[in-house]
Structure 1
């Protein structure tokens, strides 16, 4: 039985790119497996766009290599580029053509046979939820629909790797939800996805792993849970309750996983508990309250998240 890990869809090794005296990407290596959604996060100017352009063969690295499904990617035309679907942040469509005509055009660029192209266009229209608007001109669509069609243009040739550069910028909530649902399905269907975003909640929802790039270097990488553990912060449980809360706080401190428990400084009816993995311990805390004769009215859990990690590692918020 072969237990070897599957070949990565994307394999970037020691990428470097300089612009004059400035090093935009500095020794970046990352891999994306089949069916995996990888989020690349970083402040503005961190090197994300430069890295993406090298992945897609739009920019030649000064050092390092990019392979997709084992094939080398270069700025010249080649078989590896046929495996990549790139969806830029800017909408790149023909406004005077219909939705269907745009998809046909991009499919022809990849020389899809006519019957395969028509079948694939129908599949993509269904996937992006625009079948009913297939005959409409692009300039009649809402901004969110144009974003969805922009993704469809990157999908029509059935790529092995889909690169999405901030695909939900400026879209309405309904289209944003549709885009996120689509990205989830891509991974379920085995497609590898490289995803950049300025919305941390999208990375937490979609990404199996996340890489944080800052000043051209990949400074952290892992699952969202693994990255949160790097910060070494603990959860805070805030219980609003009635009863002998001083005694309850003392009893909470006897749990080995509780690092602190005390009455809330600004509220007489609150106990704050500092704990690792609050959600697993919460049933025991509530059972303890019941046994102590304390009536809990509400519970709030403040957990560190990717935003906390990002701020800790880069010194800036993601949107800055």
Structure 2
């Protein structure tokens, strides 16, 4: 047995040592002859926020797309609660993993509530998202008071929370959040991060691309550092909030 095979087996055994909500195992991807992801291994445990940090061009967004089942890697496997995402139907995948990259698209003139109803109808099984679920999601992200606001006139923090609500509609157990605070700072950013922590406390697992060290400390339980497509290290115990 070769050295690489032994290493792969050891890492797989380590990931199997505890239940993972989301497990990325040996993800590799090349674009234009360049390694964008290079044998990336990590897992996200139930009810934790696992952060990924790294400089621009390190591969964070590509990694989160692969982890969310939205882009296929050249090699490796993504498991959600032990199920391979690449072998699931769209309905089964979205029921397990919700993905958000900044803001969700909105219809001109539509309210926050109407926007959620629209996106609910686009889901593979829209009948499973009823009025009660939409009301619940509005409460989860603190948007109940904005339900009748016109979405495209809302400030960026409200639109970002609306995107989060949309990702939550099918009741996924894992959230993948990329550039969640892009363009948002100050108290508004703190409120959005508090929402992510509350979701974690309900048992939802979160894979989170952290833009800054302060952001990582505020919301991540563990943090992996990505550099030129490789996971170079990991830190634990960043926040107990």
TM-score, normalised relative to structure 2: 0.85
CA 1:28–1:88 in 2, change beyond 3 Å: closer, same or farther?
A: same
Alpha-carbon offset, residue 104 of structure 1: 1.7
The residue matched to 2:207 in structure 1 has which SS?
strand
Unaligned runs of 5+ in 2: 1-15
Root-mean-square deviation (CA, aligned residues, Å) is: 2.0
Give the stretch that moved more between structures: 135-144 or 19-28: 135-144
2:38 to 22, 26, 36: 26
In structure 2, the CA distance between the partners of 1:50 and 1:88, relative to structure 1 (3 Å rule), is same
In 2, distance between residues paired with 1:81 and 1:11?
A: 16
- The one of the two structures with greater contact order (alpha-carbon pairs below 8 A, sep at least 6) is 2
**CA gap 1:172/1:210 in 2 versus in 1, 3 angstroms:** closer
Q: Could you give the per-residue CA deviations for residues 35-81 of structure 1, whole angstroms, max 9, x where no partner exists?
A: 01000001000011111111112211111001111111129744233
Q: 2:76 aligns with which of 64, 73, 77?
A: 64
CA distance in structure 1 between the aligned counterparts of 2:64 and 2:185, rounded to whole angstroms: 25
Return the match for 1:212 from 205, 225, 238.
225
Structure 1 match to 2:8: none
Deviations 1:280-316 (A, max 9, x none): xxxxxxxxxxxxxxxxxxxxxxxxxxxxxxxxxxxxx
**1:17-56 equivalence runs, <5 A:** 17-56=29-68
Instruction: From 207, 223, 230, give the equivalent of 1:194.
Output: 207
Q: What do the CA deviations read for 1:101-125 (whole angstroms, capped 9, x no partner)?
A: 11122223142436x5211111111
User: Relative to 1, partners in 2 of residues 1:170 and 1:45: Cα closer, same or farther, differing over 3 Å?
Assistant: same
2:115 is aligned to 102
2:125 corresponds in structure 1 to 111
2:107 aligns to what SS in structure 1? coil
Contact 2:95 2:171 in 1 (8 A): no
Moved more, 65-74 or 168-177: 168-177
Secondary structure of 1:212's match?
A: strand
The alignment status of 1:84 with 2:88, answered yes or no, reads no
Q: 8 Å contact 1:59–1:75 — kept in the other structure?
A: no
Structure 1 position 184 matched with structure 2 position 201: no
Residue in structure 1 matched with residue 133 of structure 2 by the alignment: 120
Distance in 1 (alpha carbons) for counterparts of 2:67 and 2:170:
18
1:175: how far off?
A: 2.4
2:69–2:93 Cα contact (<8 Å) kept: no
Which moved further from structure 2: 148-157 or 167-176? Answer: 167-176
Counterpart-to-counterpart distance in 1, 2:56 and 2:73: 20
Q: Which residue of 1 aligns with 2:236?
A: 223
- Counterpart of 2:149 in structure 1 is 136
TM-score of the aligned structures, taking structure 1 as reference length: 0.65
Equivalence for 1:159: 172
Tell me the matched-pair count.
221
129-138 or 206-215, larger mean C-alpha shift: 129-138
